[in-house]
C-alpha cells in the first residue's frame, strides 16, 4: 500500500503543478529534491511571484525510521518504527478575491521491531479560506467535496465536513480559519472498509481537488481590487499563520520528526499584517466574512 500510494501522489503532484502553472501564466514551480538523514525524503515544489499565485507549494514526501520519543508519547506507543508519506499543498493567490486553499492526503504505517505492521491509516482533506466571501464559491467547493465522498458512502461528506469545521478553528480567536471542506484522519481498515477501500476513497478526494478550486480561481483572478482589499487580505493571512503555528498537527509532526523546515513552513504567506485589536466596519463585506467564520454554515 505504501508503494501504491506514494506512486499516486507523485503523479498527482505532476498533474496539479502543471495545471497551476497553466492557470498562473507567468511563474513556474521551483523544485527541490531533499533527503532526511534518518530516512526518506521528498520533492518540494514552490511557486512565487506569479501572475495569479503570490506564493504556493505542492510538496510530497516519504519518510521513515524510528518514531521519535515525543511522537511515541503523542501516539501512546513504545519503541516503534514508522513510515509516512503524503502530498501537502497551500496556495496563496495575489488577488484578495481569490481564496487561499489547502489540501493534504497522507498515509501512515507503524511497525514493531520485527518489521510487522501494527497500525496503518489514511488521513487528509481540503479546505477553502476566502478573504471576501462569495457564497457560490463556497457552495461549489463543498459540492465537489460531497460528490467525491458520495461515490463511496453518502454519510462521509457530512461527517468529514463537521470534522473540518472542528479542526480548522482558531480557538484562541473563536473563529474558523475559513469556510471548511473535508478533514479525515485515522482511517483504519475495519469490518466495513478495507485499507484498499480507504485508498480508493482518498484518491477520489485527491482527484477532485483541481475541479473544486480552479473554477473559482478563473472566475475571480481578474477582479479589480484596491489597497483596502489587499490590507484586509494580509490581516486575515495573519490568522492563517496563527492556526498553522499554534494548532496544525501536520506542522507539529514535521517539526517533531526532524522534517525539512523549508517544506514544513512553505504554507506561510509572504506578506502578512498583524494590527492591534483590528475590527472591520460593521455591515461591511469584511464584517460579513467574520460573522460567517464565527458559526460554521451548511453550504450544501
Q: Which of 102, 229, 247, 271 is catalytic?
A: 102
Nearest in space to 21 (alpha carbons), one of 43, 44, 47, 42: 47
**For the sheet containing 53-66, what is the strand order?**
30-35, 40-48, 53-66, 81-93, 100-111, 117-129, 180-187
Strands 30-35 and 40-48: antiparallel
> For residue 119, with 0-12 CB atoms within 10 Å meaning exposed, 13-18 middle and 19 or more buried, which class applies?
middle
Q: Compute the CA torsion angle 95, 97, 100, 101 (nearest 10 deg).
A: -120
Interior CA angle at 41 toward 199 and 17, to 5°? 65
Residue owning grid cell 482527484: 207
CA distances to 35, 42, 81, 281 from 108, rounded to whole Å, are 18, 15, 11, 46
Cα–Cα nearest to 145, from 103, 108, 175, 186: 103
User: What's phi and psi for 120, nearest 5 deg?
Assistant: -160, 145
Q: Active-site residue 102, yes or no?
A: yes
Contact 46, 33 (CB under 8 A): no
Retrieve residue 294's grid coordinates.
464565527
Q: Taking the CB of residue 210, how many other CB atoms lie within 10 A of it?
A: 17
**Can you state the angle between helices 135-150 and 195-220, rounded to 10 degrees?**
160
Residue closest to 150 by CA, chosen among 136, 161, 138, 134 = 161
Active site positions, annotated: 102
Amino acid at each position: 500500500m505504501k508503494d501504491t500510494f506514494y506512486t499516486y501522489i507523485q503523479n498527482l503532484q505532476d498533474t496539479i503543478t502543471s495545471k497551476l502553472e497553466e492557470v498562473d501564466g507567468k511563474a513556474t514551480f521551483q523544485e527541490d529534491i531533499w533527503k532526511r538523514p534518518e530516512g526518506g525524503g521528498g520533492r518540494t515544489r514552490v511557486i512565487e511571484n506569479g501572475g495569479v499565485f503570490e506564493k504556493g507549494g505542492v510538496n510530497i514526501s516519504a519518510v521513515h525510521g524510528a518514531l521519535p520519543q515525543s511522537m511515541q508519547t503523542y501516539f501512546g506507543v513504545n519503541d516503534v518504527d514508522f513510515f509516512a508519506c503524503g502530498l501537502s499543498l497551500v496556495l496563496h493567490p495575489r488577488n484578495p478575491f481569490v481564496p487561499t486553499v489547502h489540501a493534504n492526503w497522507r498515509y501512515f504505517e507503524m511497525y514493531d521491531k520485527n518489521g510487522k505492521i501494527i497500525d496503518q491509516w489514511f488521513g487528509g482533506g481540503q479546505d477553502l479560506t476566502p478573504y471576501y466571501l462569495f457564497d457560490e464559491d463556497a457552495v461549489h467547493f463543498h459540492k465537489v467535496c460531497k460528490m467525491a465522498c458520495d461515490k463511496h458512502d453518502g454519510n462521509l461528506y457530512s461527517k468529514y465536513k463537521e470534522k473540518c469545521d472542528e479542526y480548522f478553528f482558531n480557538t484562541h480567536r473563536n473563529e474558523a480559519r475559513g469556510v471548511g471542506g473535508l478533514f479525515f484522519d485515522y482511517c483504519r481498515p475495519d469490518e466495513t472498509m478495507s485499507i484498499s477501500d480507504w485508498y480508493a476513497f482518498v484518491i477520489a478526494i485527491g482527484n477532485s481537488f483541481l475541479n473544486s478550486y480552479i473554477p473559482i480561481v478563473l472566475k475571480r483572478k481578474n477582479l479589480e481590487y484596491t489597497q483596502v482589499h489587499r490590507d484586509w487580505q494580509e490581516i486575515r493571512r495573519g490568522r492563517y499563520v496563527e492556526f498553522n503555528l499554534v494548532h496544525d498537527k501536520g506542522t507539529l509532526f514535521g517539526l517533531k520528526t526532524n522534517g525539512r523546515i523549508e517544506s514544513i513552513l512553505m504554507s506561510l504567506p509572504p506578506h502578512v499584517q498583524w494590527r492591534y485589536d483590528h475590527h472591520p466596519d460593521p455591515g461591511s463585506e469584511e464584517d460579513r466574512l467574520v460573522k460567517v467564520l464565527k458559526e460554521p454554515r451548511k453550504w450544501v
